[in-house]
Amino acid sequence: MRPHTIIEPFRIKSVEAIQFTTREQRETCLREAGNNVFLLHAEDVLIDLLTDSGTGAMSSAQWGALIQGDESYAGSRSFYRFRDVVSDLTGFTHIIPTHQGRAAERILFHSVLKPGDIVPNNTHFDTTRANIETEAAEAVDVVIAEGRVPSLVHPFKGNMDLDALERLLTERGDRVPLVMVTVTNNSGGGQPVSLENLRGVRALCDRFHKPLFLDACRFAENAWFIKAREAEHAHRTPKEIAQEMFSLADGCTMSAKKDGLANIGGFLAMHDDGWAAAARNLLILTEGFPTYGGLAGYDLEAIARGLEEVVEEPYLYYRIRSTAYLGEKLIASGVPIIQPPGGHAIYIDARALLPHIPPLQYPGIACVNALYLEGGVRGVEIGTVMFGRHPDGTETPAAMDLVRLAIPRRVYTQSHIDYVAEVVAAVGQRRDALRGYRMTNAPEALRHFTATFTALD
Ligand code: F0G
């Protein structure tokens, strides 16, 4: 029997107090942060849904593993434990630890891209796009059309548009050194990619002789969706499904801060000897020796254990179900969200919630700031501030203006989530009173982290 109540599949052994603030205090905090919640002090946030990255709770087994960490500079035992777990899961020949996902991206792209190259992906995450554009290459999103319509329900909205990919490879394939697929598709709503679609991408890559890399940050959540939504895989374990996902690829970049259930870490993995040699050379320059890659031995232990725990069925059932629970509550209160709920986050459709705020006045920022002022809940804009600026300095509306409420893994209970739903509903009721923002200061790349804003009247 599956009980109706969501039972967190763990009990709590250590707790951390969270800080209650008044509305007046939050107004001061936000003003001092230039109306950008990235610039708040985290202790002024009650429920922090800024990201699911590195914010999870480690298990007692992971904490226990930390003390086993071997801090040898070269050839540490912890590296071999990490390598064996990653190798069992992914099957890749070369496993290169990095301090987090974007380091894996930077090393991969700097090693293999040249100016004018094109990298297709379902939807590039912002650091992935920035690391490609930094090499003067082009990051192209080829997600299926359904993936761009927030209100549409489709089981695999992260799927690649295979026709568009085929066209791209036919017309400009000579400029494509690799194809990527992000599982789950974070920037498109945490939506999964089906195994059938991944097989389709693989077939195209074979036909055009292109390597396929997964951006595997949330591979286990994606595997769970495949188990739940692709009937032919219902009987398989999440780990078996994940293993097949990796077997269809030639390599991956991974942020262990997500489905590694660790607070820091990542890796780059691949089969190709030449690319791996180039990547290791760069790794030594910027991250560290290839058996630690910028991580402590204890980090490698935590990741190894985390990768074992993340594919456990009770965990994944609870994880995906509790995210959907928040989504259902928001829908019930009339707040538009990306449908169906994603794996790690709920995405409020701020453009639909606030149609009176034009995209270039940042409806996502208006919604994020209102959530903080209302109840100390911190989300993040994924929209025109994050994606609207082009390398040539011009600005256009992003495809969508979303507010992501990302759920840290194993951190908040169902009552925390009930509270979040209450805060969002209250903001939804006052939607007509919300106003847009003007950007007063912005850096050229990844501007959402440090931009400051002024509220419009
Ligand atoms: N790829 C995807 C799909 C991601 O979501 C992230 C990080 C990265 C790559 C980069 O990994 O942070 O370890 O360097 N996403 C975080 C987020 C930051 O909040 O979604 P990283």
Ligand 1 contact, 53 CB (< 6 A):
yes
Domain assignment present for 284: yes
Question: Last residue of some domain: 240, 275, 309?
Answer: 309
> Residues 300, 254: one domain?
yes
Q: Which whole number is the average pLDDT over 223-251? A: 98
Question: Last residue of some domain: 293, 309, 325?
Answer: 309
- Atom number, ligand 1, closest to the C-alpha of residue 218: 3
Question: Last residue of some domain: 292, 309, 326?
Answer: 309
Ligand 1 contact, 125 CB (< 6 A):
yes
155 pLDDT higher than 80? yes
> Residues 103, 207: one domain?
yes
Expressed in angstroms and rounded, the spacing between residue 293 Cα and the centre of ligand 1 is 18
Q: 106, 193, 217, 323: which to mutate for ligand 1, most atoms within 8 A of CB?
A: 217
What distance in Å separates the CA atoms of residue 234 and residue 317, rounded to the nearest whole number?
Answer: 13
Ligand 1 contact, 34 CB (< 6 A):
no
Expressed in angstroms and rounded, the spacing between residue 203 Cα and the centre of ligand 1 is 27
> Residues 234, 193: one domain?
yes
> Residues 123, 234: one domain?
yes
Residues 10-38 pLDDT 10s:
999 999 999 999 999 999 999 999 999 99
pTM for the model: 0.95
Domain assignment present for 10: no
Ligand 1 contact, 51 CB (< 6 A):
yes
> Residues 226, 318: one domain?
no
> Residues 254, 372: one domain?
no
What distance in Å separates the CA atoms of residue 407 and residue 389, rounded to the nearest whole number?
Answer: 27
Q: 55, 255, 448: which to mutate for ligand 1, most atoms within 8 A of CB?
A: 255
Work out how many domains the chain is built from and give that number.
2
Residues 271-329 pLDDT 10s:
999 999 999 999 999 999 999 999 999 999 999 999 999 999 999 999 999 999 999 99
CB-based burial, 24-60: b 16+ in 10 Å, e otherwise: eebeebbeebbbbbeebeeebbbbbbbbbbbbbbbbe
Percent of the chain with pLDDT strictly greater than 90: 92
Cα dist from 173 to 48, 140, 168, 199, 209, whole Å? 42, 13, 6, 19, 10
What's the domain range around 36? 23-52+312-455
Burial of 103 (C-beta count, 10 Å sphere; 0-12/13-18/19+)? buried
> Residues 44, 66: one domain?
no
Residues 171-226 pLDDT 10s:
999 999 999 999 999 988 899 999 999 999 999 999 999 999 999 999 999 999 99
Expressed in angstroms and rounded, the spacing between residue 131 Cα and the centre of ligand 1 is 12
- Three-state DSSP string of the chain: CCCCCCCCCCCCCCCCCCCCCCHHHHHHHHHHCCCCHHHCCHHHCCEECCCCCCCCCCCHHHHHHHCCCCCCCCCCHHHHHHHHHHHHHHCCCEEEEECCHHHHHHHHHHHHCCCCCEEEECCCCHHHHHHHHCCCCEEEECECHHHHCCCCCCCCCCCECHHHHHHHHHHHHHHCCCEEEECCEHHHCCECCCHHHHHHHHHHHHHHCCCEEEECCCHHHHHHHHHHHCHHHCCCCHHHHHHHHHHCCCEEEEECCCCCCCCCCEEEEECCHHHHHHHHHHHHHHCCCCCCCCCCHHHHHHHHHHHHHCCCHHHHHHHHHHHHHHHHHHHHCCCCECCCCCCCEEEEEHHHHCCCCCHHHCHHHHHHHHHHHHHCEECEEECHHHHCECCCCCECCCCCCEEEEECCCCCCCHHHHHHHHHHHHHHHHCHHHCCCEEEEECCCCCHHHCCEEEECC
Domain assignment present for 1: no
Domain assignment present for 5: no
443 pLDDT higher than 90? no
> Residues 297, 357: one domain?
no
CATH number at residue 403: 3.90.1150.10
Left if phi > 0, otherwise alpha if psi is -120 to 50, otherwise beta: which for 409?
Answer: beta
What distance in Å separates the CA atoms of residue 40 and residue 434, rounded to the nearest whole number?
Answer: 20
262 pLDDT higher than 80? yes
Expressed in angstroms and rounded, the spacing between residue 21 Cα and the centre of ligand 1 is 29
> Residues 317, 380: one domain?
yes
Cα-Cα-Cα-Cα torsion 340, 345, 351, 355, nearest 10 degrees, comes to: 80
Domain assignment present for 4: no
Confidence of residue 452 (pLDDT cuts 50, 70, 90): very high
Domain assignment present for 199: yes
- Atom number, ligand 1, closest to the C-alpha of residue 50: 19
Expressed in angstroms and rounded, the spacing between residue 430 Cα and the centre of ligand 1 is 32
Confidence of residue 1 (pLDDT cuts 50, 70, 90): low
Q: Which amino acid, 390?
A: H
When the pLDDT of each residue in the chain is averaged and rounded to a whole number, the result is 96
> Residues 288, 316: one domain?
no
Expressed in angstroms and rounded, the spacing between residue 382 Cα and the centre of ligand 1 is 13
Q: Enumerate residues 6+ apart whose C-beta is below 8 A from 199.
A: 248
What does residue 325 show for φ and ψ, rounded to 5 degrees? -60, -45
> Residues 305, 316: one domain?
no
Residues 43-67 pLDDT 10s:
999 999 999 999 999 999 999 999 9
Residues 109-124 pLDDT 10s:
999 999 999 999 999 9
CATH number at residue 245: 3.40.640.10
Expressed in angstroms and rounded, the spacing between residue 58 Cα and the centre of ligand 1 is 19
Domain assignment present for 219: yes
Q: 38, 49, 53, 121: which to mutate for ligand 1, most atoms within 8 A of CB?
A: 53
> Residues 47, 91: one domain?
no
Q: Which amino acid, 280?
A: R
